[in-house]
Structure 1
Amino acid sequence: MNDLMKTPKMTPRIQSTLKHTVEVPEVMYKASGINVNGRRIKSLLFSTDVALIANNNADAILSVYPFTPTIQITNAIIGVARQPVFVGVGGGTTNGARVFKIALDAELHGAAAVVLNAPVHTEMIRELSRLVDIPIVLTVVSLDEDLEERMLHSGARIINVSGGKDTIEIVKALRAI
Structure 2
Amino acid sequence: MTHPGFEDDVRAEGAPEREFHTGVAGRLPRKTVAGGALFRDEAGLILFLEPTYKPTLEIPGGNSEAEESPLRTCRREVREELGLDLPVGRALVVDWVPASGPWHDKIVFVFDGGVLDAATIARITPDPGEVRAFGFLPLADAADRLRPSMARRLAAAQLALESGEALYTEFGRPVHAPY
- What is the TM-score of this pair, normalised by structure 1? 0.25
Which structure ranks higher in relative contact order (CA pairs < 8 Å, sequence separation ≥ 6)?
Answer: 2
More strand by share: 2
- What is the TM-score of this pair, normalised by structure 2? 0.24
